[in-house]
Structure 1
Amino acid sequence: MEQRELKRDLKNRHVQLIAIGGTIGTGLFLGSGAAISKAGPSILLVYLIVGTALFFVMRSLGELLLSNAGYQSFTDFAADTIGPWAGYVTGWTYWFCWIMTAMADVIAVGVYVRYWFDIPQWIPALIAIILLLVLNLLTVKLFGELEFWFALIKVITIVALIAIGLFWLIIRFKTDSGVVSIRNIWSYGGLFPNGIAGFLSAFQMVVFAFVGVELVGVAAAETSNPEKNIPSAINKIPIRILLFYVGAIFVILCINPWTELSAANSPFVQVFALAGIPLAGGIINFVVLTSAASAGNSGLFSTSRMMYNLSKHSQGPKFLSKLNQNFVPGNALVVSAIVLSIGALLSYVIPDTAFGVVTTISAICFIWVWSIILISHIIYTKKHPDLHKKSHFKAPLAPYMNYAILIFFVAVLIIMFMSEETRMAVMLTPIWFIMLFITYALRKKR
């Protein structure tokens, strides 16, 4: 019987929009309000710092993926460069990252639907999981189409916000908050109104806002032309960060003084309400609903592919490595959806604390994944200097930039530990890694 393999059915437009979808999520639409309330206008600098660091992580990822046609994800080169344990721990950690992230997004779908319909939020959350599972079971091309349209909605919304804001800035439009002006950025306490402490406290939320930026690497195994599409998607990340994050937040701060933005609400909703657009709240609610659905869709896709890849390399149950007639890992998709449903139920039972703990743990685990990519690239440059020298997509300033970003990640973890809001999650996360090392040792012994 012929062995089925994953199909390379994702086209360039799919990969480009998957990359955009990975850099625009609920962290921007919902989390930016809380981040602004902590850091004030200096939030722009936080987005630039984290975005720059992750661009270099992605360049390392891109070079590694293209250095060997056999690499289908970062677990492959982690196992090859660092050791089998690194592939095992990183693979399952990445699965855990996206399960935790998708839990929050699926619960968010339920909350957003209640904006229009007064029904228990677990009903639309469960419907979303079932719908995304069915669609993902069909073809990988359908996943690409879903992400294409989901991401397009996000892009149109942000571009519309920036266009409206710039127009108001030019004509000095007067809102209920005053005249739209660039002076609003520094006229309310300066760039660092809450001091260095406020500036540093925003890093956790911004790191979570960028989770998923590496999804283009997971999709590498299913692109029709990875040598062309992967570099193209990665090199456009800085433009997307400047436009979608820095650009959007800049315009919001020009329109509304940061002191008037609520930490509990999306600043996007407030800006469109000021624009006088009828049903502005409903329009933005629809956008954040599709954003959450998009993140949940990405989560289901990436967790199933990670399960498939781990099982294919004998690091997980064998049945998870089977592909259905549509050449997608059906068993892995179903298992991920079941776990996601359990997590969604738990998040609903303890709504007051679950979201904060889950998102922080997710951010910490993503920092592990990004760090493994950097360490793998350092080892790759030392073991294969000839390949690194001949690479057509060489990571700039390597390996020195890799070391600098690793130090930066350690600093972010220290900041999280020092904050009362995130300390508990930092202390709980090592339990996951201890479990993984134990299970790896048992599997190796067996």
Structure 2
Amino acid sequence: MISIGGVIGAGLFVGSGAVINATGPGAIISYAISGLLVVLVMRMLGEMAVVNPDSGSFSTYAHEAMGSWASYTIGWLYWFYWAIVIAIEATAGGAIVHGWIPVIPVWAVSLILTVLLTFTNIFSVKSFGEFEYWFALIKVVAISLFMCLGVAIIFGFIPGIQSPGLSNLIGHGGFMPKGFSTIFVGIVVCIFSFFGAEIAAIAAGETPDPQKSVVVAIKNVTWRILLFYIGSVAILVTLLPWDAADLLKSPYVTMLDMLKIPAAGQIMNFVVLTSVLSCLNSALYTNSRMLYSLAQKGNAPRALLKVNKNGVPVRAVLASTFFAYVCAIFSFTSPDKVFLFLVNASGAIALLVYLVIAVSHIILRKRMEKQNKQVLKLKMWLFPGLSYITIVAMIGILISMVFIESMRSQIYLTLLIAVLVVGSYFLFNRKSHTTLENSTNETMLKTGND
């Protein structure tokens, strides 16, 4: 359920309308190609996670494959990304609740939501899992109901509502009304919607049977993406004209309006709020575990290794939350300057993470085959050819962002932040933290937690 929650985000419920409006019915192809890339990356991550389940996940694998500089860089970039996401989601959640209860200011609601979920994460990993389970369940039920209603309309099962047939798919300028190039632009936008699927691999390190949990989650990511993203987008472009003015508001609200369901907008707001809370909950968990993993490797203050009686790295949770609070303050005091800079600087981190996962996988898999260490329970398909194709595709997406005006600042600022992080590693890296010392500390911590 955590992995399902990671895939279904507010981007599907709200952002899909913008993609369809910019691409046309061909948005199905954009989501299919970007979804395929994510499936391939998750397969690689799953293979590594089964061999070595670790809360540091891809940061740990980057350390094993390319060295401590790679682990340091991608770990801090990932932490920075989710800290920004916490601020964004808290502000979005505050705006929704403020719409229902105008007397409470947005900043106050944002603070309350973040504090509540921080306490959830501090109490125990079980409480995080319980909350995320129910958040994910609400999202799954909502998207399933939307899809069932959409299919019923398409096949004319609902009296009084005429089926659009294929008119919206081939009418209004055809399947690709703005040309094939927009499909590629759509891929660049869509791939960011899937970011979060990797959380399952991070959480696997704290499950009773991590190997089994990872195998199940990674194998199921294929049908989840096919069903929830590609399936729902296919239904939407069949039901609604791609150039409809109200599509940008929310395609799901528009579909509910077709059924004359009262308070369609408020129903959708509740679903989006659930997605926001789910994202907040997962972001706080993921952020703290990545920070904890960085501290284990000597790439963050050792004080962050302190855990409570339930094994939760409390200081790492609080440190991540504090930075997110600072970012949230900027979203209110300087939304067009400081906060905009932070958001843009985190824009392309998702692709860098995917790229590091793919490169780490190739190095570790070849190393393992050379040493003939063990039989893999989960294997990447058509290795190494498909892995190399995935890397080339992601590099192509990163390069294409330079030529897309709306994304140019994101790729430039992300690369700037990445260069600064790499520079900080070589400037402040303490060589006294040897691999042996780190291994000893990790063993002691695990023994203490047990």
Q: Same fold (TM over 0.5)?
A: yes
Shift of 1:40: 0.9
Give 1:314's aligned residue: 298
Give 1:402's aligned residue: 387
Give 1:31's aligned residue: 15
Give 1:13's aligned residue: none
Q: Structure 1 CA distance, aligned partners of 2:354 and 2:406? A: 23
Q: Tell whether the 8 Å contact from 1:73 to 1:220 is kept in structure 2 after alignment.
A: no
Question: Per-residue CA shift, 1:315-334, capped at 9, x if unaligned?
Answer: 10011111012210100111
Matched, 1:132 2:117: yes
2:252 to 268, 284, 288: 268
Question: Helix, strand or coil for the counterpart of 1:102?
Answer: helix
Matched, 1:199 2:183: yes
Q: Structure 2 CA distance, aligned partners of 1:348 and 1:174? A: 48
Matched, 1:20 2:4: yes
Give 1:6's aligned residue: none
Q: Structure 2 CA distance, aligned partners of 1:407 and 1:357? A: 28
1:251 to 235, 250, 264: 235
Q: Structure 2 CA distance, aligned partners of 1:99 and 1:419? A: 26
Shift of 1:436: 1.2
Shift of 1:263: 5.6
Show structure 1 runs of 4+ deviating over 6 A: 353-357
Shift of 1:300: 0.6
Give 2:365's aligned residue: 381
Give 1:93's aligned residue: 77
Query: Superposition pairs for residues 71-90 of structure 1, below 5 Å?
Result: 72-90=56-74
Q: Structure 2 CA distance, aligned partners of 1:190 and 1:180? A: 15
Opposite residue 120 of structure 2, the aligned amino acid is L
Shift of 1:209: 0.8
Question: Which is further off, 426-435 or 80-89?
Answer: 426-435
Matched, 1:422 2:407: yes
Matched, 1:53 2:37: yes
1:361–1:246 distance in 2 versus 1, CA, 3 Å: farther
Q: Structure 1 CA distance, aligned partners of 2:279 and 2:204? A: 18
Q: Structure 2 CA distance, aligned partners of 1:253 and 1:174? A: 21
Question: Which is further off, 267-276 or 196-205?
Answer: 196-205
1:323–1:402 distance in 2 versus 1, CA, 3 Å: same
CA RMSD of aligned residues (A): 2.1
Q: Tell whether the 8 Å contact from 2:330 to 2:339 is kept in structure 1 after alignment.
A: no
1:251–1:70 distance in 2 versus 1, CA, 3 Å: closer
TM-score (norm 1): 0.91
Question: Per-residue CA shift, 1:132-171, capped at 9, x if unaligned?
Answer: 1111110101100111010111111111111111111222
TM-score (norm 2): 0.90
Give 1:435's aligned residue: 420
Give 1:231's aligned residue: 215
Q: Structure 1 CA distance, aligned partners of 2:203 and 2:217? A: 11
1:185 to 166, 169, 174: 169
Q: Name the % identity.
A: 35
Matched, 1:331 2:315: yes
Q: Structure 2 CA distance, aligned partners of 1:151 and 1:431? A: 35
Q: Structure 2 CA distance, aligned partners of 1:214 and 1:379? A: 19
Question: Per-residue CA shift, 1:69-101, capped at 9, x if unaligned?
Answer: 568511112111111111111111111121122
Q: Structure 1 CA distance, aligned partners of 2:126 and 2:10? A: 24
1:345 to 322, 329, 351: 329
1:43–1:261 distance in 2 versus 1, CA, 3 Å: farther
1:166 to 141, 151, 176: 151
Q: Structure 2 CA distance, aligned partners of 1:76 and 1:445? A: 18
Query: Superposition pairs for residues 258-297 of structure 1, below 5 Å?
Result: 258-262=242-246, 264-297=248-281
For these two proteins, the number of residue pairs brought into alignment is 429
Question: Per-residue CA shift, 1:310-349, capped at 9, x if unaligned?
Answer: 1012110011111012210100111111111111121233
1:444–1:65 distance in 2 versus 1, CA, 3 Å: same
Opposite residue 154 of structure 1, the aligned amino acid is K
Question: Which is further off, 269-278 or 323-332?
Answer: 269-278
